[in-house]
Amino acid sequence: QVQLLESGGGLVKPGGSLRLSCAASGFTFSDFHMTWIRQAPGKGPEWVSFINPSGTSMYYADSVKGRFTISRDNAKNSLYLQMNSLRVEDTALYFCTKEIFTGSGAAFDYWGQGTLVTVSS
């Protein structure tokens, strides 16, 4: 069955960096767009970034553009999010998600359990 397992979250000071990872299994990882979505405590989901199956096209929310970098390693069935210059407002649970099928218009049928990023001094 499909599994998405995030890791790498933690407590970091403003201006610091973290690298999130997502280990995928149960599907052909290299066939699917992958996306990071975050959810601040008590708030709704916020799209962060997505990457195409080959890893050649990436898009970012304005709130993270220039600070976050999404990447993938299809040989390792893994998705990554490098987060630099972290701000207090980046505090959230970060989910790794899989698109239901290519061309679905960003509908996500599988979500990981999330990894918590806390930015605080």
Partner 1 sequence: QSALTQPASVSGSPGQSITISCTGTSSDVGGYNYVSWYQQHPGKAPKLMIYGVVNRPSGVSHRFSGSKSGNTASLTISGLQGEDEADYYCSSYTSTFTLVFGGGTKVTVL
Quick one: which of 1, 54, 56, 62 contacts partner 1 (CB under 8 A)? 62
In the complex, the smallest distance separating the C-beta of residue 56 from partner 1, rounded to whole angstroms, is: 14
Per the CB < 8 A criterion, the answer to whether 67 and 84 are in contact is: yes
Q: Which is nearer to partner 1, 56 or 121 (CB)?
A: 56
Angstrom CA distances, 45 to 12, 26, 82, stand at 21, 25, 19
Quick one: which of 5, 23, 40, 61 contacts partner 1 (CB under 8 A)? 61
| Residue 23 interacts with partner 1 (CB under 8 A): yes or no | no
DSSP 8-class letter at 76: T
Retrieve residue 15's tokens: 């201006």
